[in-house]
A and B are shown apart, each in its own frame.
Chain A
């Protein structure tokens, strides 16, 4: 049997990519082993470190090669590759091609690897004598990640999913398509000249930058993990925290930015009208972030007081474990019935779990002191791993093994920590309250985590089949608000406490006056936001207190020294974010309330809001403080933009306020996804007006509907025809100058009538044609589907005396007019800019803080003096 020579394929580039994948995998293993030996064999450490670097260098180049080749395949539309065929199309603009990477699983893992490789490079450059142990961990994670791209089959088991697989390998069924015989199998690519295309929801500016930011945040979580393991491994328990702090702050900042970007994307381009819905996929990125914040704070405690080491270890380890867990949740398809985000299960959940469990075991292996225990751990882990392949009921093996792994982790790290100095001995110390703050973050993470994991519990607890709460958003809000309230308060007063011990008199004076000032502002804001709920008002107080406390701290204690104020500025930003959440969340107001209220005779109570309104073209409706009119639309394929005019209107005085703007939400009826619509928002400093199309009329169905009720009218120029859908005036009849336009090149005589058609909402023109060709005559009707009217010029009866009296026989046909309407939802988000502005301030604060922490002791000495000075003046 001869092999078919397929024409038109570009196999070289894919082979380069495949080789790069295997090379990246092999080089990561080599790098891991070298770095591992670099730690274990102290005498030859230098040699093995060089080897490790070499391995990681090769790995980095391979990862870059994979990334570039995959991008080139997408950019050049090589649809012989499954990845390009499935995720891209020829009409995709270049700026969205990068988004194809994160539509598929393989691309996401690749992106993660790229970030790890870059972070690894920075670590090699900066981490000095921590390099070997830290990089061993990074390299190990790269081994796991690159195995996800291998795509090799071992027996029945497929290891990884290769992004360079060919379409014909992935779907051999294509050769059975009947039409294939005509082309010949070797020319199969002639049939695949267009790809499946990128999901229109991903074709958005924010979707180009949000996923990579989020993934960088995820990737950054490995650094504190690696430092913690390095600390346990080399027994430098006191030293690892300091170099890890800037990295942790970096992770918090980037992951936070990524999460907020996702919220902003949802707000700007998704239909649900909001920025956060407590969707499992959103929560999955939130839980590692909450722990990273807790970690950053316990690290600071340890840095300044030497306390809280155990919890810092545990948090550093769990932050990364939660990143892995979040990846497992979102990528394994387990969220199934609970999430709206679509992710494919590529059969890699097993590999993800292995990654997860391996990294639970790694810190224990580093921490355990005797080889007997290490081997016991490895043996139990391996047994569990192997049994999970053979046993039908993996839960039976799973429970004890998983419990053993987690138990080993907690116990081994606990025993490893040299002294357990207590951070909770002095109630008036800053570290005590920072620790409490960290614990609140841990609790909130626990709460979000267990609820998001509902499908996991259903799977591992026999007989359990629970669904998420009916009112998901309300449920989460009720729980998370008290957490946020406590955090806000502590952020406000925390800085006025000193490490070790605080002078209580001074503290209460300061904080008391701050609380008073905050109460004043809270009342002001509460009036501004129309808040009445006492719980919300106390939440608002906490947020205001956080802002004011830190502002005062910056100016009074730190004397406005920007370089020292990173932490406090981040806190101010956080406070503003909370204020924005309260104002936009509690004050969110749907103005598109349907007041037509037809009674359907069913038992619907009056409270029920019906939050979508139908706007007929050119018929204004009163919505909130606006008179809203749908004034027209333009189609810029594939989207249709609808122009919605808002005019400020005062009901009391029945007059316009002068405020006027036009929003352009758009929608497309996507053949693959149905109605895809993008909202448009008018941004004011104080509020946003959000408008989103929820339904448009089915124009296609109307176009196909037949005309009926035909009538003939004998009229003169200037006469009017009356129809059910509007009136038509015959304006003029002219000989047409361009018969070719109508395909009537050989017509001898030709006339075009112009009728002005006035419907309820519009004025349109119809141009029916009458032509004579030899003995025949041709009559071309003009259909105005929008008006539901057809006009046909059937006959011309010239008046021999007076040309003005010539009569025209016009036939009309009717059908129900297209109701030109849109159904939309409009909402007001008051003061949402506090949220976005707060985010920017927070990022700025973090950036300062990272530089401050990375830049040595000098600054912290100045800071200590400043803080000490403030309290010593009194004492």
Chain B
């Protein structure tokens, strides 16, 4: 066999592997219901901050412990636990994308993406991402 064919096969193989891997390792945008049904899988949930439910954050006690409530696209509310300092613009956010998994009734977020109305660009939504680090 000529090297040309071997190279071709390897190239196509890697390319297909890349596509399969992309499909396989991608997460999904779901609601809390789906996340609860699959407690060990991590998902993306898009929702809004429930403003009238109390947010718990006491930096003196533990600067890495934030609890708040989020309403998903079908208006289901879940308690969110985020192991990181409170993002400063959490209250201002219009839309929140959280990544994480359901764990005993609470959604444990590993990353939060906030979408806030931009004051610098009218009509524009600005985004900030906040990560909780895990080993």
Q: How many of B's residues come within 8 Å of A, CB to CB?
A: 59
Find chain B residues with CB under 8 A from A614 CB: 59-60, 63
How many angstroms from the CA of A422 to the CA of B7 in the assembled complex? 13
Find chain A residues with CB under 8 A from B63 CB: 594, 610, 612-614, 694-695, 823
Contact between chains at B11 and A443 (CB < 8 Å): yes
**Cβ contact of A470, chosen from B89, B106, B110, B124, cutoff 8 A:** B110
Contact between chains at B120 and A198 (CB < 8 Å): yes
For the complex formed, measure the closest distance between the CB of A203 and the CB atoms of chain B, giving whole angstroms. Answer: 12
Closest B residue to A457 using CB positions: B22
Find chain A residues with CB under 8 A from B4 CB: 422, 424
A→B interface (CB under 8 Å): 86-87, 103, 171, 196-199, 272, 337, 339-342, 344, 422, 424-425, 427, 432, 436, 439, 443, 446-447, 450-451, 454, 465-470, 475, 479, 590, 594, 596, 598, 600, 602-604, 607-614, 669, 671-675, 694-695, 697, 819, 821, 823
Contact between chains at B81 and A602 (CB < 8 Å): yes
Name B73-129 residues within 8 Å CB distance of A: 81, 83-89, 92, 97, 99, 103-104, 106, 110, 113, 118-122, 124-129
For the complex formed, measure the closest distance between the CB of B114 and the CB atoms of chain A, giving whole angstroms. Answer: 9
For the complex formed, measure the closest distance between the CB of A816 and the CB atoms of chain B, giving whole angstroms. Answer: 10
If over half of A's interface residues share one DSSP class (helix, strand or loop), that class is named, otherwise mixed; here it is: loop
Is residue B37 contacting chain A, with contact meaning CB distance below 8 A? no
How many angstroms from the CA of A398 to the CA of B83 in the assembled complex? 45
Is residue B18 contacting chain A, with contact meaning CB distance below 8 A? yes
For the complex formed, measure the closest distance between the CB of A340 and the CB atoms of chain B, giving whole angstroms. Answer: 4
Contact between chains at B113 and A672 (CB < 8 Å): no
Find chain B residues with CB under 8 A from A603 CB: 103-104
Is residue B9 contacting chain A, with contact meaning CB distance below 8 A? no
Contact between chains at A466 and B26 (CB < 8 Å): yes
Contact between chains at A475 and B89 (CB < 8 Å): no
Q: With A674-B92, A695-B59 in contact, is A823–B85 under 8 Å at CB? A: yes
Contact between chains at B19 and A598 (CB < 8 Å): no
How many angstroms from the CA of A468 to the CA of B28 in the assembled complex? 8
Contact between chains at A467 and B44 (CB < 8 Å): yes
**Cβ contact of B27, chosen from A103, A466, A594, cutoff 8 A:** A466
Find chain B residues with CB under 8 A from A436 CB: 7
Contact between chains at B97 and A337 (CB < 8 Å): yes
Is residue B134 contacting chain A, with contact meaning CB distance below 8 A? yes
Contact between chains at B11 and A439 (CB < 8 Å): yes
Find chain B residues with CB under 8 A from A454 CB: 22, 26
Further contacts, 7 of them, CB under 8 A, given A465-B28, A613-B63, A673-B119: A87-B120, A337-B97, A424-B3, A439-B7, A479-B21, A602-B106, A674-B89
Closest A residue to B83 using CB positions: A610
Find chain B residues with CB under 8 A from A341 CB: 127
How many angstroms from the CA of A629 to the CA of B13 in the assembled complex? 55
24 A-B pairs in the complex with CB atoms less than 8 angstroms apart: A196-B122, A337-B29, A337-B113, A340-B127, A341-B127, A342-B121, A443-B11, A443-B18, A450-B18, A454-B26, A466-B26, A467-B99, A468-B26, A469-B26, A475-B25, A594-B64, A602-B103, A608-B134, A610-B64, A614-B60, A672-B120, A675-B89, A694-B84, A697-B59
Q: With A424-B3, A443-B14 in contact, is A675–B88 under 8 Å at CB? A: yes
